[in-house]
Amino acid sequence: MLVLGIESSCDETGVALYDSENGLVAHQIYSQIALHALYGGVVPELASRDHIRKLPLLVNAALEEAGKDYKDIDGIAFTEGPGLIGALMVGALYAQGLGYALNKPLVGVNHMEAHLQAVHLEEDKPEYPFLTLLVSGGHSQLVLVEAFGEYQILGDTLDDAVGEAFDKTAKLMDLPYPGGAKLAKLAEAGDEKAYAFPRPMLDSGDLRFSFSGLKTKVAMTIKDATEADYPNIAASFQRAVIDTLTAKAKKAVLQTGVKSIVIAGGVAANQLLRQELARVMDPLSVRVFYPRPLFCTDNGAMVAYVGHERLVRNQGAVNYEVKLKARWPLSDLSQKVDQHDA
């Protein structure tokens, strides 16, 4: 089965083809960073318009890359949510029209499930069950993945997600958009012990996260600092975040007894986070997995993979009916009960 995957939830237009026998056979992506950098953040209307311009071109490029034609497509997967409604609508309506024209099944994919499963695009991947630290601009979660489609959320964020905290802190330092990766780069030149920032909720007794207090403390520090202090602030902030994430992840591993943990989402590309999580997990004989950086950020490959898995299992196919979801929690995909609600 050859599945076309379409990702358009925010500011990347992603298209990919995933084949049952050969795996990922084509991957095309266009980033809108240069467009939105002029405004210091994503402008939803401009994002939607750019998806309209780029999506058909990327589909053609993906088919050419794979040596395939439209008639070879067996199914179409598109991001149904969560995300910006206007941006989601572009990908969904394109998929709807193409599916109708080709008489092929459609499947709407949860964007966070796609991030969760992106590690399966790699040769080195975990066996079920495994734990996932899902960290992005909008989510900070610890998720027990018991099987494909079976997800138990062990801990969620109460306020700012970790990626959002990175981006907002970077903006306070006047770093160019997107600021999170630039803050991590700036931190390389700083002393992570220069400032004693809090490690939020380490003693909360649960696996939830909160980064708003840390962000506020850093904002107050930046207000009284000079630009020369920024590398030390960035390094100290990053260390506080990573200490928090790795401590909560260790606690989750001890609670669940899993032997594999995955880092997924945009923040999973942070090299220090990868190194520190591996260091913390090594004494526990727990292996750490993660997608390559290209598949940590939004992309069509992860959508194509999840769509393929859904279609081969006869799950979720729709008859050209599109119901987009600006918010769509992972817990809606599984009958598993959230631990903190049990």
pLDDT value, residue 337: 35
Residue 3 has pLDDT above 60, yes or no: yes
What is the mean predicted confidence (pLDDT) over 249-277? 96
pLDDT value, residue 335: 43
Which H helix or E strand runs over 151? strand 150-155
The residue among 10, 5, 6 whose CA lies nearest residue 87 is: 10
Cis before 126? omega within 30? no
pLDDT value, residue 216: 93
- The residues, any chain, with a CB within 8 Å of residue 159's CB and separated by 6 or more, are 210, 211, 212
- Summarised one tens digit per residue, pLDDT across range 146-172 is 999 999 999 999 998 898 899 999 999
Residue 207 has pLDDT above 70, yes or no: yes
| Four-residue CA torsion sign, 68, 73, 76, 77 | negative
- Summarised one tens digit per residue, pLDDT across range 33-88 is 999 988 888 999 999 999 999 999 999 999 999 999 999 999 999 999 999 999 99
Q: What is the largest CA-CA distance in the chain?
A: 62
Residue in the block written with tokens 């598993």: 336
The Cα–Cα gap between 304 and 311 comes to: 10
* Residues contributing to the annotated binding site for Fe cation: 111, 115, 298
Is residue 328 a contact partner of residue 39, using CB atoms and an 8 Å limit? no
The Cα–Cα gap between 210 and 179 comes to: 20
Residue 334 has pLDDT above 80, yes or no: no
Residue 91 has pLDDT above 90, yes or no: yes
The Cα–Cα gap between 207 and 251 comes to: 8
* Residues contributing to the annotated binding site for substrate: 134-138, 167, 180, 270
- Say how many C-beta atoms besides its own lie within 10 A of residue 251's C-beta: 17
Give all domains of the chain, ordered by start, each with its CATH number.
2-116+296-333 (3.30.420.40), 125-290 (3.30.420.40)
The Cα–Cα gap between 26 and 300 comes to: 10
What is the mean predicted confidence (pLDDT) over 83-107? 96
Beta bridge partners of 261: 131, 288
Chain-wide mean pLDDT for the chain?
A: 93
pLDDT value, residue 194: 97
Model confidence at 175, pLDDT cuts 50, 70, 90, reads: very high
Distance of CA 174 to the CA centre of its chain: 24
Residue 341 has pLDDT above 70, yes or no: no
What is the mean predicted confidence (pLDDT) over 315-327? 81
What share of the chain has pLDDT > 70, as a percent?
Answer: 97
Amino acid at site 293: P
pLDDT value, residue 183: 95
What is the mean predicted confidence (pLDDT) over 192-208? 93
What is the mean predicted confidence (pLDDT) over 263-288? 96
* Residues contributing to the annotated binding site: 111, 115, 134-138, 167, 180, 270, 298
Model confidence at 336, pLDDT cuts 50, 70, 90, reads: very low
- Cα first-last separation, the chain: 39
Angle at 150 between CA 277 and CA 80, to 5 degrees: 95
